[in-house]
């Protein structure tokens, strides 16, 4: 385990541990420790088991991952982009990219002998963890903020999760769950607080590489930043394995209502000012735990960060549905809205291969 900020090696720390020097979330330093191998007969994230840091005797899976990367020809023509692709994470079992995390985290919880798993979530992760915990016969505890996706909350309840309400935004829920899991002896499955999250989500980068090669641009809806960091990690591991020559430029998309990572990337202060809430609830994170790491990976990839309005997101969500037959959740459609802005501002070339992540 290595700190991505100060570079300190933290030895065989647990996945929920923090850097002993600077307190940062840790990452598994995997670039030189495995031979990249794809199990072609497995159609889930576990096709990349050789790239995951632990060997598990029992795997909890609902066939998550292996989602399609679809060429959006009609939408591309409308936007003036010749090579536009949608990575459709809505095809996962509970409808979001967080199923990848829930599979590995519940698997790891069983390995350590935990009976209870817990996470802070304003939607996707809560639904995913609740489902996979039920699959694993584990007890799930989800701390939700006031701003929570009601559809995802219904899923959590249907799967029998224990629901605890705390705070307005998910940041406050994350602070609360950190202490709660420690005091209760529960497994910490909050994505921002567990390094295995990045191992789960880096498989999206692997799948993009398998399906379309290395794109020029990957556009990522960003709330807390875990998906952004994970994609960077996945492409860096492919580069270290000699399978690609360079990583794509990563683009961070946040809402006009709340955009701390965009602010910090552009050289502003990472302070939060109260603004009217956005309907893109999955992106409403006022004080991201991973903000410094997210900015670092954006700069390392030569990427960019921008904001989009709710109006732009709504128009893009409808366009995606009507042009390609893909209905993405509101927050997910922010990546499509960003492409229009990137082209208008001449940040990307119309000939670039662009992959938009539709997270749910």
Which domain covers residue 82, as residue numbers?
69-96+195-358
Average of per-residue pLDDT across 20-38: 86
Tell me the average pLDDT across 137-151.
96
Whether 205 and 127 map to the same domain: the answer is: no
pLDDT score of 275? 60
The pLDDT of residue 12: 82
Tokens of 353: 């291969």
Residues 322, 326: Cα–Cα separation, whole Å: 8
Task: Clarify whether residues 260 and 138 are in a common domain.
Answer: no
One domain, residues 217 and 159: no
How buried is 313 (Cβ within 10 angstroms: 0-12 exposed, 13-18 middle, 19+ buried)? buried
Q: Name the percent of the chain in helix, strand, coil, to the closest 5.
A: 40, 15, 45
Domain boundary among 160, 193, 226: 193
pLDDT reported for residue 157: 98
Whole-number Å distance between alpha carbons of 292 and 265: 9
Give yes or no: residues 169 and 207 share one domain: no
Looking at residues 265-271, what average pLDDT do you find?
74
Q: What is the pLDDT of residues 174-220, one digit of tens each?
A: 999 999 999 999 999 999 999 999 999 999 999 999 999 999 999 99
Instruction: Dig out the tokens for 320 from the structure.
Output: 């995606």
Q: How confident is the model at residue 269 (pLDDT cuts 50, 70, 90)?
A: low
Calpha distance 197→226 (Å, rounded): 7
DSSP state string for 198-250: HHHHHHHHHHHHHHH---SEEEEE-SSSHHHHHHHHHHHHHHHTTS-SSPPEE
Residues 202 and 302 in one domain: yes
Task: Look at 210-224, 262-276, 346-360 and tell me which has the smallest mean pLDDT.
Answer: 262-276
Angstrom distance (rounded) from CA 293 to CA 250: 13
Same domain, 314 and 333: yes
216 and 321: one domain?
yes
User: Residue 147 carries which DSSP code?
Assistant: S
Among 159, 193, 227, where does a domain finish?
193
For the chain, give the mean pLDDT. Answer: 95
Same domain, yes or no, for 209 and 78? Answer: yes
Averaged over 296-325, what is the pLDDT? Answer: 97
CATH number at residue 262: 3.40.50.1100
- Please indicate, yes or no, whether residues 108 and 86 belong to a single structural domain of this protein: no
**What distance in Å separates the CA atoms of residue 111 and residue 106, rounded to the nearest whole number?**
9
212 and 339 belong to one structural domain: yes
Quote the CA–CA distance of 327 and 91 in Å, as a whole number: 11
Which two three-digit tokens encode residue 58? 């029992």
Share of the chain above pLDDT 70, in %: 97
When divided into structural domains, the chain yields a total of 2
* Residue 55 binned pLDDT confidence (cut-offs 50, 70, 90): confident
> Residue 292: which pLDDT band, with cuts at 50, 70 and 90?
very high
pLDDT above 60 for 89:
yes
């Amino acid at each position: 385990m290595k700190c991505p900020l100060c570079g300190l090696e933290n030895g065989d720390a647990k996945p929920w541990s923090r850097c002993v020097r600077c307190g940062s979330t840790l990452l598994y330093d995997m670039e030189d420790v495995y031979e990249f191998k794809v199990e072609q007969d497995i159609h889930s994230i576990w096709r990349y088991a050789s790239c995951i840091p632990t060997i598990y005797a029992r795997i909890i899976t609902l066939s998550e991952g292996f989602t399609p990367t679809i060429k959006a020809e009609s939408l591309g023509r409308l936007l003036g982009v010749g090579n536009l692709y949608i990575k459709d994470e809505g095809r996962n079992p509970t409808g979001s990219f967080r199923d990848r995390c829930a599979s590995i985290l519940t698997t790891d919880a069983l390995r350590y002998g935990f009976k209870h798993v817990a996470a802070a979530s304003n939607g996707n992760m809560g639904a995913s963890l609740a489902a996979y915990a039920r699959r694993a016969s584990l007890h799930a505890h989800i701390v939700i903020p006031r701003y929570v996706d009601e559809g995802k909350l219904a899923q959590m309840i249907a799967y029998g999760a224990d629901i605890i309400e705390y705070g307005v935004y998910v940041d406050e829920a994350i602070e609360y769950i950190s202490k709660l899991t420690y005091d209760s002896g529960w497994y910490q499955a909050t994505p921002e607080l567990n390094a295995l999250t990045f191992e789960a989500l880096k498989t999206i980068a692997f799948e993009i590489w398998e399906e379309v090669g290395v794109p020029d641009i990957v556009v990522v809806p960003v709330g807390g930043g875990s998906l952004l960091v994970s994609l960077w990690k996945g492409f860096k591991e492919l580069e270290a394995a000699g399978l690609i020559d360079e990583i794509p430029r990563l683009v961070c998309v946040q809402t006009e209502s709340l955009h701390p990572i965009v602010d910090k990337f552009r050289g502003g202060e990472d302070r939060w000012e109260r603004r009217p809430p956005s309907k893109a609830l999955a992106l409403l994170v006022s004080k991201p735990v991973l903000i410094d790491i997210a900015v670092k990976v954006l700069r390392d990839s030569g990427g960019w960060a921008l904001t989009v309005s709710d109006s732009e997101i709504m128009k893009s969500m409808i366009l995606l549905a009507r042009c390609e037959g893909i209905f993405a959740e509101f927050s997910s459609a922010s990546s499509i809205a960003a492409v229009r802005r990137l082209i208008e501002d001449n940040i990307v070339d119309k000939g670039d291969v662009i992959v938009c992540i539709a997270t749910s």
